[in-house]
Amino acid sequence: MHGSVLIMKFTNAITTAKAKPELLAKLTGEIQIPEEQRRTILTLTGTTCRWPFGDPARGEFYFCGGASEIGQPYCEHHSKIANQPAQSRRR
């Protein structure tokens, strides 16, 4: 398959996924955050997930807001993403 055809198929998949958030979540491995769970910087607490979503310069920015253990910055799902083992280097 040529590069331009592959890029076009990928672009079409992303366009389709944006129209269907549940499909985008499956493609990226990311969970969907319910609107009522989302937090702003002012509504975060010591037990809410601080995983950021979006661009802080835009109005769509929010934090996950899921339940986290006291002293931990992220919920269980986002902790698994943040705390992955280091990849070994090839020489």
At 17 the pLDDT is: 47
Which of 10 and 78 is assigned the larger pLDDT?
78
| CA–CA distance, 23 with 83 (Å, rounded to integer) | 25
Alpha-carbon span 46 to 72, nearest angstrom: 8
Among 12-21, 55-64, 74-83, which stretch is predicted with the lowest mean pLDDT? Answer: 12-21
- pLDDT digit string, tens, across residues 40-54: 999 999 999 999 999
State mean pLDDT over 85-89.
Answer: 75
Q: Average pLDDT, whole number, for the chain?
A: 79
User: What's the angle, vertex CA 30, arms to CA 15 and CA 75, rounded to 5?
Assistant: 155
The DSSP secondary-structure symbol of 82 reads H
Q: What is the pLDDT of residue 8?
A: 58
Tokens of 31: 């969970």
Compute the average pLDDT of residues 52-81: 92
pLDDT in tens, 5-21: 555 555 565 555 445 55
